[in-house]
Amino acid sequence: MRWTFLMAGLVVFAWGCKKDSSDDNTVYNWKRDLYRGAITKEGPALVGSTDMVIAPNSVYVSTDFVALTESQKNKQKDSIYRASGRMFAYKYEKVQTK
């Protein structure tokens, strides 16, 4: 009985640690805009909520073009938002290649 629970636990643990395979390894071209949250006297600069919606009062900083997979794009988007203390955010748009 104990052996059955141990094996079931190992199977659940193995499935839980499995990498997300929903991302195909296709590289896309992206237009990446960097925005900074507007600074107010009442509080810190915020670009948006936790799902990173670019607020209308955000300040445009720069644009560049990158080649990334969907997974890499999502990691960069989360990384800049967290590292800047929710002050900077990337906005990505797929660029169609001809």
Average of per-residue pLDDT across 3-23: 69
Average pLDDT over residues 10-39: 76
Three-state SS letters, the chain: CHHHHHHHHHHHHHHHCCCCCCCCCCCEEEEEEEEECCCCCCCCCCCCCCCCCCCCCCEEEEEEEEEECHHHHHHHHHHHHHHCCCCEEEEEEECCCC
pTM of the model: 0.64
Q: What is the pLDDT of residue 21?
A: 54
